[in-house]
């Protein structure tokens, strides 16, 4: 049924729009999206138009070479329609590239690019482009950032891949490994699809996996290992679906940090997120500021050995307090959360603390069964928060200025919730590197316990396994 502030006619119109899009979209359109995602020109059509191999533009398959100038030249030849092709092999990269503009082009990365340069910024920066595909046809393509060379001295460097103001695009079947800073940074992107992707970073804060802002984005079948953001929504964002996400020794998924004066995030859905050995299963981080986060759902989260679980923190101490009386959170739904947390008495698995001047409302927590791995009790904490379930204060069907703030209340849970369980996955990491080289992992074929990926690997499981063997 529609959320509390959605009329039935609007809901029916949106359903009809989704049904019509199913007839034309290359992938099925799911709830929370508002139309088709991905490139408008097929992979085959781009290759049939033109292929611009970097080997024909001066590149050499050698780690001691610099693929940067050849990438720029190949892009110039194919940016109006065609495929920039990086054949299988190993390539060094000492100069960064900016791929600006163009339409109907693809970057087919079947080789492995190794960072050798020392500049900041972005190894590959794509901006102001339309109908774009970045992928590996073999599922063996990768970018190795060699971030350990910085991290062993407690320093940071460049991002691996950044997209800005790009629409109708996809990124898939790639490995982004050991970035000196962020791995994949998406800002103001629309109609995008990110899938069959693995991010493997270092055990250090500030090495974000995927940060995304924009509209109408589908991110699915993704594994992230690092010590910071797994998949995080940034402001402004709307109509995004994030599902089948494997946060494997990571900071965990999040929204924020929300420090602006006019935050505008709505219609975001996370579904089927597995988190193991993470800082949190999901956190919304703010401190002052203004604006709204509304009409979002967070369904079917499973985790184990995470420090925090469900955490809305309007006084997040790691963010400098911004001017304003806080972000308003309304109509957020959390359902189907199962698993265990490291210590539920020390860090409450439910912590919903909203701004004093802007109590949140329409918050709903149901089917929540997370138990502590340490001790025999856990806590739920709520403050300035109205809704249904756990420690939320009821009696407020609608919100407004009349809602009164209230101090944090603590609810003690003295026995394990019915139906709780803490499943594992075969690929769960037991450690994560930082000061030595991180091997390039294969793109996985499973991302959530019992769930089937939405898209098969471009290169097939056999090809991915062979690549993993070759890299050892």
Q: Residue 219 domain-assigned?
A: yes
Please tell me whether residues 344 and 441 are part of one structural domain.
no
pLDDT tens digits for range 239-283:
999 999 999 999 999 998 998 899 999 999 999 999 999 999 999
Residue 374 lies in a domain: yes
Say which residue the tokens 């000492």 belong to. Answer: 94
Residue 3 domain-assigned? no
Q: Is the pLDDT of residue 29 over 50?
A: no
- Whether residues 418 and 468 share a domain: the answer is no
Q: Are residues 232 and 257 in the same domain?
A: no
**6 domain-assigned:** no
Distance CA 198, CA 188 (A): 22
Cβ–Cβ under 8 Å, residues 337 and 359: no
Average pLDDT over residues 127-137: 98
The pLDDT confidence band at residue 8, using thresholds 50, 70 and 90, is: very low
Q: Which pTM value belongs to this model? A: 0.91
Residue 223 lies in a domain: yes
Residue 16 falls inside a structural domain: no
Whether residue 21 is predicted with pLDDT greater than 80 in this model: the reply is no
Q: pLDDT value at position 400?
A: 57
Q: Identify whether residues 233 and 289 lie together within a single domain.
A: no
Q: Are 179 and 173 in contact (CB under 8 A)?
A: no
Across 188-192, 222-226, 342-346, 422-426, least confident range: 422-426
Q: Is 238 helix (H, G, I), strand (E, B) or coil?
A: strand
Predicted pLDDT at 59: 98
Q: Are residues 300 and 388 in the same domain?
A: yes
Please indicate, yes or no, if residue 15 is contained in any of the structural domains: no
Q: What percentage of the chain reaches a pLDDT higher than 70?
A: 89
397: confidence class by pLDDT, cuts 50, 70, 90: low
As for how many domains the chain has, the answer is 2
Q: What is the pLDDT of residues 315-354, one digit of tens each?
A: 988 888 889 999 999 999 999 999 999 999 999 999 999 9
Q: What is the mean pLDDT of the chain?
A: 90
231 and 102 together in one domain: yes
Q: Are residues 183 and 161 in the same domain?
A: yes
Domain that holds residue 449: 21-249+430-472
CATH label of the domain that carries residue 270 = 2.160.20.10
Residue 82 lies in a domain: yes
Average the pLDDT over 199-228 and give the result: 96
Q: Are 194 and 169 contained in the same domain?
A: yes
Distance in angstroms between the alpha carbons of the first and the last residue of the chain: 50
Q: CA 20 → CA 10, 34, 210, distances in Å? A: 15, 11, 30
Length of the chain equals 472
Does 226 share its domain with 353? no
Structure tokens at 149: 């060379």
72-83: average pLDDT: 98
Residues 58 and 197 in one domain: yes
Do 390 and 439 contact (CB within 8 A), yes or no? no
Q: Are residues 58 and 98 in the same domain?
A: yes
Kindly state the tokens that stand for 471: 């890299």
Asked if residue 434 and residue 379 are part of one domain, the reply reads no
Query: pLDDT grade, residue 171 (50/70/90)?
Result: very high
Higher per-residue pLDDT: 461 or 73:
73
How sure is the predictor about 32, in pLDDT bands with cuts at 50, 70 and 90? confident
């Amino acid at each position: 049924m529609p959320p509390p502030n959605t009329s039935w006619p609007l809901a029916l119109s949106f359903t009809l729009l989704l049904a019509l899009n199913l007839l034309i979209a290359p992938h099925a359109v799911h709830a929370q999206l508002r139309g088709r995602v991905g490139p408008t020109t097929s992979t085959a059509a781009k290759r049939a138009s033109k292929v611009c191999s970097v080997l024909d533009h001066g590149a050499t398959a050698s780690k001691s070479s610099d693929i940067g100038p050849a990438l720029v030249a190949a892009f110039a030849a194919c940016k109006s329609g065609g495929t920039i092709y990086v054949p299988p092999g190993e390539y060094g990269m000492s100069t960064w590239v900016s791929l600006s503009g163009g339409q109907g082009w693809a970057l087919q990365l079947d080789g492995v690019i190794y960072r050798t340069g020392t500049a900041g910024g972005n190894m590959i920066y794509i901006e102001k482009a339309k109908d774009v595909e970045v992928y590996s046809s073999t599922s063996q393509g990768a970018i190795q950032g060699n971030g350990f060379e910085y991290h062993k001295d407690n320093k940071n460097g460049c991002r691996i891949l950044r997209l800005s103001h790009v629409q109708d695009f996809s990124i898939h079947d790639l490995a982004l490994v050991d970035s000196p800073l962020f791995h994949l940074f998406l800002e103001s992107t629309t109609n995008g699809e990110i899938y069959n992707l693995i991010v493997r970073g270092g055990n250090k804060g500030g090495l974000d996996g995927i940060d995304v802002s924009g509209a109408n984005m589908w991110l699915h079948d993704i594994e992230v290992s690092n010590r910071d953001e797994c998949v995080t929504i940034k402001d402004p964002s709307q109509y995004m679906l994030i599902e089948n996400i494997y946060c494997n020794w990571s900071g965990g998924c999040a929204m924020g940090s929300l420090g602006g004066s006019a935050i505008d995030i709505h219609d975001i859905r996370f579904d089927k997120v597995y988190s193991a050995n993470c800082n949190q299963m999901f956190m919304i981080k703010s401190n002052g500021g203004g604006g709204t986060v509304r009409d979002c759902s967070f369904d079917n989260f499973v985790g184990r050995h995470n420090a925090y679980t469900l955490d809305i923190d309007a006084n997040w101490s790691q963010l400098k307090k911004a001017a304003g009386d806080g972000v308003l959170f309304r109509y957020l739904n959390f359902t189907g959360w199962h698993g265990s947390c490291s210590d539920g008495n020390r860090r409450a698995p439910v912590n919903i603390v909203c701004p004093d001047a802007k109590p949140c409302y329409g918050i709903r927590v149901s089917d929540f069964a997370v138990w502590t791995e340490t001790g025999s009790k856990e806590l739920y904490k709520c403050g300035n928060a109205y809704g249904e379930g756990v420690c939320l204060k009821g009696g407020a069907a609608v919100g407004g200025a009349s809602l009164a703030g209230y101090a944090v209340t603590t609810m003690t849970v003295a026995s394990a919730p019915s139906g709780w369980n803490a499943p594992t996955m075969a690929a769960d990491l037991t450690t994560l590197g930082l000061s030595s080289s991180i091997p390039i992992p294969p793109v996985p074929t499973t991302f959530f316990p019992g769930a089937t990926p939405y898209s098969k690997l471009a290169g097939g499981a056999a090809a991915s396994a062979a690549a993993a063997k070759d890299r050892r």
